[in-house]
Amino acid sequence: MVSLLGCGSRPPNAASVLLFNGKGTSPNDVLAVEAVLARGKIDYVTADSAQMNAATQAQLRRYRLLIVPGGNFNQMGEGLSVEAASNVRAAVTGGLNYLGICAGAFLAGNSGPNPFRLLPGVRFGFYSVENQGVRKAPVWIDGADGSHLEQYWEDGPQLTGWGAVVGKYPDGTPAVVQGEVGRGWIVLSGIHPEAPATWRGGMKAEEDNRYAETLVRAALTRQALPHY
């Protein structure tokens, strides 16, 4: 793993995935996503806020997939320039794929300062248990493929208002969605399937972590997952 080059040629060992690890991202979630990528032997590089602010649309388009992990979407937006958000939006509509996890899903819409606005007019709300004062919890996600997985949720969105629904929360609202924006393929997740066992207490992680790799590969290869 190397960091994104601020300018010049593509990094040696050209990577497929660009993983954002800048201001507002959860360092532990960045590590969790890196572990999923490593287990799946998916090549990647990282970019912090300064590197994203310096990257041109053309440089972003050198990658097949941008992953924005969990964290604080307000701080993420504050750390990015208006031009950086515009470049990401243009790169995605031009063919860069996007995987947003929790805060990364919020940022894809119109939440917080300086969001990417990949989905015009869409603003996601929190999953309903947030209104009960719950900040983190295990939740059972029903997949359109018949799967029923216990997943880790922490301050994540429910994704009503955009895309094809891949998985649903217990209250029936969308937990995972997918769809096209321009020439880019987008997968958004309100849950953390990448969460390691240390986050989960007694929850099992192995099957859920495989689901995280499924989402990464679907976003990377533009594969439409079974949906409702």
Q: Where are the domains of the chain?
A: 2-221
| Residue 217 one-letter amino acid | R
Residues of the chain with pLDDT under 50: 1-2, 5-13
Q: Would you say how long the chain is, in residues?
A: 228
Q: Average pLDDT, whole number, for the chain?
A: 92
Angle at 209 between CA 206 and CA 211, to 5 degrees: 115
Sequential DSSP letters for 22-52: -TTB-HHHHHHHHHHHHHTT--EEEE-HHHH
HSE, CB side, 13 Å, CA atoms: give it for residue 9: 4
Is CATH 3.40.50.880 correct for 2-221?
yes
What integer pLDDT is reported at residue 4 of this predicted model?
A: 52
What integer pLDDT is reported at residue 206 of this predicted model?
A: 62
What integer pLDDT is reported at residue 6 of this predicted model?
A: 42
